[in-house]
Amino acid sequence: MRVCVGTIVHHPEDARITHRQIRSLLDAGHEVTFIAPFTHCNVTPSPEIRAIDVPRAVGLHRRKAVRAARSALRRGAKDADLILIHDIELLLALPRRRPPAVWDVHEDTAAALPTKTYLPEPLKNALPPVIRGMEARAERRMHLILAEDSYRERFAHDHPVVPNLTYVPDSPPQPPGDNRLVYIGQLAQARGAIEMIELARRLRPHGIRLDLIGPADADVRPLLRDAQREGVLDWFGYVPNKHALRMAEGALAGLSLLRDLPNFRNSTPTKVIEYMSRGVPVITTPLTRAASLVGRVDAGTIVPFGDVESVVANVAQAVLRLRDNAERRGAMGARGYFEALHHHHWPTIAGEFVAQLERWADTPGSPRARRNDTVVPV
């Protein structure tokens, strides 16, 4: 099977796209053409794929990227058995003559609008019905896979769920240490960036440092640079997922301080599973799914929502309690690792993901005619 995979929004080293899905397709013997912003992200494509470079869609500047993607998808679709896209923007760039197409729905785009600081308020109010209309049109014309079970309620029909699992080491990682916190992911105000900067200042006198691993929204970059110059934290910027997870090993705790916003409420933050997979205790705000996962196996601490000061105070208290109790944090890390290994290991669902794409590639036609799609186990 020849698969054309496309994104203009995500990094070419995105963990879900490249290190899980494309890796699984290649391991199964399939050929992959990957349309992605390689030059923009300073990434050298793997020799295992056929790469097509496009501009990246950033902020309000997306027209050029969509136009380039339209041309790239025409090229990629010529000899493909299936197209797999990862951005809602690419719904506007699909060629009319094409093989069966699949949209991997990563997020609730309409619910995420309040977190997009680059969007003017009138656009935030006007876009939700437009986005819902695009989703409904896509459901009628192509296949969908969903990253979260909760996304089902947005659509009229059933679609396979391919959750954001991770690769879990075969043997337990080193136990948690006592002087370093870690955060992996996009740094944004809605994701607790301000809280983490203040937390780093609060914990510096206690000899605890904070490692922030991930790209940052434009409005928080100056704050991060100032904090790094002060020596209160280390901000590494974007790091490929497999290397970021190695960096997390041995940390006292992993942070997930998402705010109480619609886009986050019914999602399981992937970083929570990733921390657990590396034996790192989790400190998370009480989003339903994150709190349920962490609380059910006692793999970390749940702190309440609140303003910046109250969140920082609660997290600092939780961190110091963990620092002073090596046995407790070691047990939390071990329980999290066991849970991740047995219930959140990507290879356990990779085969069914590939098999689902193979079925769609072999049976072109309207997805509405096949309403009982296979659901990948969560």
Question: Cα(13)–Cα(205) distance, rounded to whole angstroms?
Answer: 36
Residue type, 358: E
Question: Phi-psi category of 231—alpha, beta or left, where left has phi over 0 and alpha has psi -120 to 50?
Answer: left
pLDDT at 374: 45
Q: Is residue 330 part of a domain?
A: yes
All residues at 6 or more sequence positions from 71 whose CB lies less than 8 Å from its CB, including other chains: none
How many domains does one find in the chain?
2
Which CATH number belongs to the domain containing residue 303 in this structure?
3.40.50.2000
Residues 239 and 354 in one domain: no
> Which residues on neighbouring strands pair with residue 358, listed in sequence order?
none
**Considering the domain boundaries, does residue 374 fall inside one?**
no
- In this structure, the answer to whether residues 93 and 214 fall within a common structural domain is no
Residues 55 and 129 placed together within one structural domain of the fold: yes
Rounded Cα distance, 187 and 198, in Å: 14
- What CA–CA distance (Å, rounded) separates 302 from 127? 34
How many angstroms separate the CA atoms of 231 and 225, rounded?
A: 10
Model confidence pTM above 0.75:
yes
Q: Are residues 147 and 189 in the same domain?
A: no
Question: Scanning the structure block, which residue is given the tokens 């309403």?
Answer: 371
Query: Does any domain span residue 174?
Result: no
- Same-domain status, 208 and 301: yes
Same domain, 191 and 338: yes
Classify residue 17 by its DSSP letter: I
Quick check: 88 and 131 in contact, CB under 8 A?
yes
User: For residue 124, what pLDDT is reported?
Assistant: 86
**Does residue 331 lie in a domain region?**
yes
Rounded Cα gap, residues 300 and 318, in angstroms: 9
* Residue 89: domain span: 2-165+346-369
Do 214 and 358 reside in the same domain of the chain? Answer: no
- Are 242 and 361 found together in one domain? no
Q: Are residues 9 and 134 in the same domain?
A: yes
Is residue 182 within 8 Å of residue 168, measured between CB atoms? no
pLDDT tens track of the chain, all 378 residues? 999 999 999 999 999 999 999 999 999 999 999 999 999 999 999 999 999 999 999 888 889 999 999 999 999 999 999 999 999 999 999 999 999 999 999 988 888 888 888 888 888 889 989 999 999 999 999 999 999 998 999 999 999 999 999 999 999 999 999 999 999 999 999 999 999 999 999 999 999 999 999 999 999 999 999 999 999 999 999 999 999 999 999 999 999 999 999 889 888 889 999 999 999 999 999 999 999 999 999 999 999 999 999 999 999 999 999 999 999 999 999 999 999 999 999 999 999 999 999 999 985 443 433 334 444 433
Q: 76 and 6 in contact (C-beta within 8 Å)?
A: yes
Same domain, 73 and 197: no
For residues 213 and 195, state if they share a domain: yes
Q: Residue 281 domain-assigned?
A: yes
- Each residue's pLDDT tens digit, 61-111: 889 999 999 999 999 999 999 999 999 999 999 999 999 999 999 988 888
Same domain, 12 and 160: yes
